[in-house]
């Protein structure tokens, strides 16, 4: 792909002219341009860098790039998907930069990274990054650049020790991890020097002006989409959910100060609008936002909504979305079992799910996609039967509505109450059982790969010993067999795969991310976990 893709961009901000002596910076997305430019997080960080006159920033993707500086001082990566690490290593090699942070010298740029993957658990990637930015970028990015400017002409180690003082800036090489044995659990994680903070806290932006696309292009994976962040985090706090727990507290964009100005700005350059957030319809003024978007002047606007809470699917919402080019809605139910939904804190009953389907059809939508999960802690075979019964009830209640159940396997995530659970080893069989039962009733079932869930769990619960493993796997391919081959090759140097993926961990264990502070303290997560496990016991006693 040639750089002509950049000429198709319509910018909604004014880039600064770099000063003489501006910091030469490469900001990369480790995937193709069409994917990277569809990431709102990537867009926002790039625009913030481009609006600084003290930074000269060039963009780099796997298939194209802007003119790159010959001697960059900073090289940043925004990471949205775990397996994109392979592309990070390839891009580093293409720039003749050692892939291991320990092998870089003062002649190499500082390699930094951010995004949801690294904020959740950066440890498997610790060997590849000099610096990792944890949390929201609104203030963190500027603090990082300003701190770098203070030590710009110093040696690499001086730079890293200075940057490690900035809240939210994590320098993995300045923390020593000790293990009970080479292939055993972690014993301790301590700063390497007395002046390095013992913990690094994820940074949280608390303003009520949230993000909106600084660029619109027909070359994006979602062609000409203009994205507006309506809410950040989710108030529901389902106990497995990274999108809720990692990004707390729940924040909403101001209608007057954020949403309306952003929407009007974007609709000057495109008629395709995407409303983003983990729980968009729970914005306190969502009905007012819908009324605003129902005005005749927006009749040609194509509207899509990232996620809709099930009990907020009204006939009016379905009608408005139908009139704005949306044919179907997506809702997350997790399970058809009310018992299991109580364990995971999914505040939803079966009547609300059925009503959502009825309302979607009555409002003129043609499809409803539901998201479910197998292998959730506390799940029993009967819970799967209830999911089948739920889908049959929906089919009966809303005949003619195209129903799809997308289903994944529970994967434990850092900073959530279920981080101590492993992947249920029966999950693959349960996916197959659900598929057989649902298809026999003519229902569309779309399971996510169980093998991918295993890899995801490995990375989401991994420690920094996995950097060696990931480097090996890169040459073998991204199949589960490749990971097993790499574990065999490294036997004795790190725990077995089951330790990371399937084992339930003791509450007292030092976690790979114990030195990285999320929004809630560990004691609070353990309290939420106790609430769930207490419900397991109630059920056992009742039976």
Report how far residue 189's alpha carbon sits from residue 515's, in angstroms, rounded to the nearest whole number.
7
pLDDT at position 536, please? Answer: 72
User: What 3-state DSSP class applies to 420?
Assistant: coil
Which class for 488: exposed (0-12), middle (13-18), buried (19 or more C-beta within 10 A)? Answer: exposed
Low-confidence ranges of the chain (pLDDT < 50): 1, 542-543
Residue 146: alpha-carbon gap to chain centroid: 27
Exposure b/e, 156-172, CB count within 10 A at least 16 = b? beebbbbbbebebbbbb
Q: What is the pLDDT of residues 114-149, one digit of tens each?
A: 999 999 999 999 999 999 999 999 999 999 999 999
Read off the tokens for 220: 């994006």
Q: Please, what is the Cα angle at 362 between 281 and 442, to 5 degrees?
A: 95
Pairing state between β 215-216 and 10-11: antiparallel
What's the distance, Cα to Cα, between the start and end of the chain in Å? Answer: 62
Encoded tokens for 114:
């951010």
Written as one string, the DSSP assignment of 130-155 is SEEE-B-HHHHHHHHHHHHHHTTTS-
Supply the pLDDT for residue 543: 46
Say what the pLDDT of residue 489 is: 96
Is the bond preceding residue 249 a cis peptide, omega within 30 degrees?
Answer: yes
Within its chain, how far is the Cα of 89 from the centroid? 20
Q: How far is CA 399 from the centre of its chain?
A: 35
Both tokens of 124, joined, read: 């498997």
CA distance 74 to 451: 36
């Amino acid at each position: 792909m040639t750089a002509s893709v950049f000429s198709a961009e319509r910018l909604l901000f004014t880039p600064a002219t770099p000063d003489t002596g501006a910091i030469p910076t490469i900001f990369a997305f480790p995937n193709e341009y069409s994917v990277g430019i569809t990431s709102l997080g990537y867009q926002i960080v790039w625009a913030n860098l481009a609006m600084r006159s003290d930074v000269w920033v060039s963009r780099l993707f796997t298939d194209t790039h802007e003119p790159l500086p010959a001697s960059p001082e900073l090289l940043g990566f925004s990471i949205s998907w775990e397996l994109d690490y392979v592309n990070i290593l390839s891009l580093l090699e293409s720039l003749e930069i050692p892939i291991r942070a320990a092998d870089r010298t003062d002649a190499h740029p500082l390699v930094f990274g951010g995004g949801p993957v690294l904020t959740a658990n950066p440890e498997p990637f610790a060997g590849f990054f000099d610096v990792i930015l944890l949390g929201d970028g609104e203030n963190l990015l500027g603090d990082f650049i300003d701190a770098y400017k203070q030590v710009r002409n110093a040696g690499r180690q001086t730079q890293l020790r200075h940057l490690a003082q900035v809240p939210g800036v994590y320098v993995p090489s300045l923390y020593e991890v000790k293990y009970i044995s080479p292939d055993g659990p972690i014993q301790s994680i301590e700063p390497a020097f007395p002046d390095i903070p013992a913990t690094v806290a994820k940074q949280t932006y608390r303003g009520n002006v949230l993000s909106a696309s600084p660029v619109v292009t027909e070359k994006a994976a979602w062609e000409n989409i203009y994205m507006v962040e309506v809410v950040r985090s989710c108030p529901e706090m389902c106990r497995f959910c990274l999108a809720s727990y990692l990004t707390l507290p729940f924040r909403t964009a101001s209608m007057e100060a954020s949403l309306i100005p952003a929407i009007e700005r974007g609709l000057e350059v495109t008629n395709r609008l995407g409303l983003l957030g983990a729980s968009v319809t729970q914005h306190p003024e969502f009905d007012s936002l819908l009324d605003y978007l129902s005005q005749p002047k927006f009749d040609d606007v194509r509207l899509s909504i990232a996620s809709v809470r099930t009990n907020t699917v009204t006939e009016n919402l379905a009608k408005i979305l139908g009139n704005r080019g949306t044919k179907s809605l997506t809702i997350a139910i997790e399970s058809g079992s009310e018992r299991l939904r109580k364990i995971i804190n999914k505040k939803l009953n079966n009547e609300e799910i059925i009503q959502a389907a009825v309302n979607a059809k009555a409002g003129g939508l043609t499809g409803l996609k539901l998201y479910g999960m197998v292998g959730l802690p506390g799940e029993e075979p009967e819970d799967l039967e209830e999911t089948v019964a739920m889908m049959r009830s929906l089919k009966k209640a809303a005949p003619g509505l195209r129903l799809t159940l997308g289903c994944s396997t529970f994967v434990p995530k850092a900073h959530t109450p279920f981080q101590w659970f492993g992947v249920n080893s029966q999950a693959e069989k349960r996916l197959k059982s659900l598929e057989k039962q649902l298809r026999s009733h003519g229902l569309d079932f779309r399971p996510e790969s169980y093998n991918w869930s295993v890899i995801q769990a490995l990375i989401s619960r991994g420690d920094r010993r996995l950097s060696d493993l990931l480097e090996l796997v890169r040459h073998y391919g991204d199949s589960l067999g490749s990971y097993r081959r790499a574990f065999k090759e490294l036997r004795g140097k790190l725990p077995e795969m089951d330790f990371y993926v399937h084992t339930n961990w003791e509450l007292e264990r030092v976690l790979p991310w114990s030195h990285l502070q999320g929004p809630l303290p560990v004691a609070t997560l353990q309290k939420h976990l106790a609430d769930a496990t207490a419900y397991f016991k109630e059920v056992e006693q009742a039976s």
